[in-house]
A and B are shown apart, each in its own frame.
Chain A
């Protein structure tokens, strides 16, 4: 067992375990915290795959933004101490069946395919490269998606404010 392998397994196991905990916990705030752990472990995975910028964004945006937002809404809508009702047996059964069937189908299908790892040299993921590509308009440039995303975020911002607005008349 090499170092990276050990780290990967720790990360992978914690992702899976915390995901399961997150969706089964009957205390909603705990579920949110488990989700936070999953997201942090995911950031570690990105870091392992040599995407430090993505890992940073994951930490800032997910852990710092979305989870906080979720906790906020939990505090707004629920009593923290109250336990959630357990899922209905029929829901649990059908959900589990669907999930297991989906896992089986996807795994069997994908594992039949032999991916050939590339031997090309990696491009490097320093900030300069990412910045140039993200703002680039030529080949390997992502300026257009970037702008589209910015418009989407603006729309989401305005939309959510409008939806959540009190006393609309």
Chain B
């Protein structure tokens, strides 16, 4: 089967971006959205076709084979170290193609309605196309360097879209924050790439993850501070992934990124870009699992802590998009945990499969949640849940789809979230009981805060609206319905046959002993939320008062931002930047200024000699001749 046509999937969004970007002034505004959306539907169809042909092919002995559909040499650095650009198709990237293009297509369609009448409508679609292009380039990268390039492109498009409302200072600040934090993390990624390629002499994923390759087969024995160089490199690479996936302590940019338009949050900051870290670890998974298990342990703890931490904060936030942002953090934490508890190959690779399964389902239900929230915001013109309530009658479609999404994320069978979360819990249970307990608890908290959100928006007391909220237009509700259906059925995709750590199918068993408690705690969470928030009551306030210290800390996101500010402003700026600036201003600049000033002063002192008086010149000349004659005749 020839997959060369997948190049179209990659290049079509780029062409759209360039076209929309260059012609933004000439094009009729309404056309931009239609062009962008039509493009996305084309590539979504192509991606689904690719996935269908790829997964229905006869899997060989070694499972699904990775195919390089396209490959060109880009930078031959040395004879051996060559950077290629290409398209790699394996179960992982094909799955990602489907997720990205489907969600992106839905978001594009939704945006036509959501962004209607906004200033910069064409620019918005151009940036969305750029993002889609970058994200697709990232997932089909054949080598880690290509991935890095698209990784940065994704960061740039995220920056551009967060700062879309550039007249708003908070949006500008948020975009800068997102860019700087992820760039800082990418520093680790880059250093990791350099170490890894220096030690292995290759950038290719296929070599890096091959069982006989230089990373796994002939692991270098060089060690640094008790860990092997490979472990360090993979840890640094994970740092980049943690930055993009907003893992603690690099998570601070994601809640602020909600300043961007809501569909952007749905696409970038929920479904696709923030899972790039998960994708990165999954892409290099054999290397992590077989040559750096210590790194995997770190990933497991970071993921687990982030999921608990974010879930607690999510319970206290009032801005509905921020609740969803922290929920995203928490869910990505789940995926990281699943990778962390996984082993390589066959049954041991359950966690790997579960992680990507959860990535797959999460993309749909979280995008649905964001788009639903966007629909609500569109109707109410506010982000705060205190200004919402009782919307279930006026917005029936939004209400129903939102309910489906909430049930999905809470893990109620037979919705997709239940299956993927259940797999993660099983994998965690087999690996580490403590982690399992934490994740089980987080499942309950998740159910609680999601239904807190649900009840506050759609039930509770109806506040006085400026004008009666009404259901969103069809272009917005159709994506909601599509994603709701996807959320329901995504759980039935036989992932263990398709996307596994060694690309070979394996059998999974269903464990009621794990699923039972997880359903139970989810139901408890939902019921608690219903008890507290379904009707107006004083109970939430009473509880938050009784937990005042913890509540305030969680409401202020445990002061992580303030700690960062303290470290940067009071320590780095004060004790490092100031002296460096002083040194630069006074010593470095001073030297240069001194040289310049002395030249100027010297010329000012001697320029009087150039007086324009001919006689003076003659005198210089004559006395010079005399002195020279004297020197030559008598002084040698």
Contacts and interface: CB of A to CB of B under 8 A. Distances in A.
Interface stretch (A2-10, A97-105, A144-152, A161-169): A97-105
A109 B634 CA distance: 10
B629 interface: yes
A91 B626 contact: no
A65 interface: no
A79 interface: no
Contact of A105 (B615, B619, B626): B626
Interface in A75-114: 91, 94-95, 98, 101-102, 105, 109
B27 interface: no
B622 A102 contact: yes
Contacts of B615: 91
Contacts of B538: none
B241 to A, nearest CB: 80
B337 to A, nearest CB: 93
Contacts, number: 17
Nearest to A112: B633
17 contacts: A91-B615, A94-B619, A95-B619, A98-B619, A98-B622, A98-B623, A98-B626, A101-B623, A101-B626, A102-B622, A102-B626, A105-B626, A105-B629, A105-B630, A105-B633, A109-B629, A109-B633
Contacts of A109: 629, 633
A2 to B, nearest CB: 36
Interface in B574-631: 615, 619, 622-623, 626, 629-630
Which secondary structure characterizes the binding site on chain B? helix
A96 to B, nearest CB: 12
A95 B620 CA distance: 11
A91 B619 CA distance: 9
A67 to B, nearest CB: 23
Instruction: Give 5 closest A-B pairs by Cβ, nearest first.
Output: A98-B623, A98-B622, A102-B626, A101-B626, A109-B633
B134 to A, nearest CB: 68
- Interface residue SS majority, chain A: helix
Nearest to A101: B626
A38 B619 CA distance: 24
Interface in B96-124: none
A87 B345 CA distance: 107
A94 B626 CA distance: 13
Contacts of A105: 626, 629-630, 633
B633 to A, nearest CB: 6
B124 to A, nearest CB: 66
A102 B624 CA distance: 11
A27 to B, nearest CB: 21
Contacts of B619: 94-95, 98
A105 B623 CA distance: 12
A152 to B, nearest CB: 23
B342 to A, nearest CB: 94
B199 to A, nearest CB: 78
Nearest to A95: B619
A105 B634 CA distance: 10
A91 B626 CA distance: 17
Contacts of A98: 619, 622-623, 626
Given A101-B626, A105-B626, A105-B633, 14 more contacts: A91-B615, A94-B619, A95-B619, A98-B619, A98-B622, A98-B623, A98-B626, A101-B623, A102-B622, A102-B626, A105-B629, A105-B630, A109-B629, A109-B633
A98 B633 CA distance: 17
A98 B622 CA distance: 8
Nearest to A106: B629
A105 B615 CA distance: 22
A105 B622 CA distance: 13
Contacts of A102: 622, 626
A64 B606 CA distance: 45
A105 B619 CA distance: 16
Contacts of B633: 105, 109
Nearest to B633: A109
B612 to A, nearest CB: 15
